[in-house]
Amino acid sequence: MIDLLALCAFNAAYADTIDSDALEQWPGFFTEECHYRITHIENEREGLAAGIVYADSRAMLEDRIAALREANIYERQRYRHLLGMPRLQNAQAESAEARTPFIVARIMATGQTEVFATGVYQDRFVRQEGQLRLQSRVAVCDSTVIDTLLALPL
């Protein structure tokens, strides 16, 4: 059975990977065929499918990191994720569904820290070769407004 502690450990590693700039490892948290989307609560309520980021394969997530490293231009910035306790909605031996609230602060090149996003991850986890992986993570932001740009993943 996938339990709460396993999900907490997974999320802690996920957040630390992004916050410590080990972005190349981030796609590894997902299954090869996966769904990753960043949206907000109003789109979700209305059933509108588009995302700020919309990916349906791990390769697309890898491409995004490669683009951030090689092509996209943005000021240096990093995140600090604070993740709440996952609310397990459905736990089985090989899969689980959970909702986990997040708050992400953004630290800019200027030295300023500001709350950048809050929301909830709506997740579906599966166990593959003994490892937990995300088959689907939809980051539903509480705010409908994104400040300036969203470079790093949530």
Q: Name the residue nearer to another protein (CB basis): 98 or 154.
A: 154
In angstroms, give the least distance from the CB of 48 to another protein.
Answer: 5
Q: Measure the CA–CA gap between 50 and 30, rounded to whole angstroms.
A: 20
Q: Please, are residues 104 and 11 in contact by the beta-carbon 8 Å criterion?
A: no
In angstroms, give the least distance from the CB of 16 to another protein.
Answer: 22
Q: Name the residue nearer to another protein (CB basis): 6 or 52.
A: 52
Paired with 83 in beta bridges are 102
Q: Measure the CA–CA gap between 97 and 135, rounded to whole angstroms.
A: 10
Structure tokens at 48: 């509108």
Q: Name the residue nearer to another protein (CB basis): 69 or 87.
A: 69
For residue 13, the SS3 value is helix
Cβ atoms within 10 Å of 122's Cβ, excluding its own: 18
In angstroms, give the least distance from the CB of 146 to another protein.
Answer: 4
Which chain residues interact with another protein by CB under 8 A? Answer: 38-40, 42-43, 48-57, 59-60, 62-64, 66-67, 70-75, 144-151
In angstroms, give the least distance from the CB of 136 to another protein.
Answer: 15
Q: Name the residue nearer to another protein (CB basis): 74 or 90.
A: 74
Q: Name the residue nearer to another protein (CB basis): 40 or 81.
A: 40
Distances, alpha carbon 84 to alpha carbons 7, 11, 105, 114, in Å: 11, 9, 14, 19
Give one DSSP letter per residue of 51-74, joined into a string: -SEEESSHHHHHHHHHHHHHT---
In angstroms, give the least distance from the CB of 42 to another protein.
Answer: 7
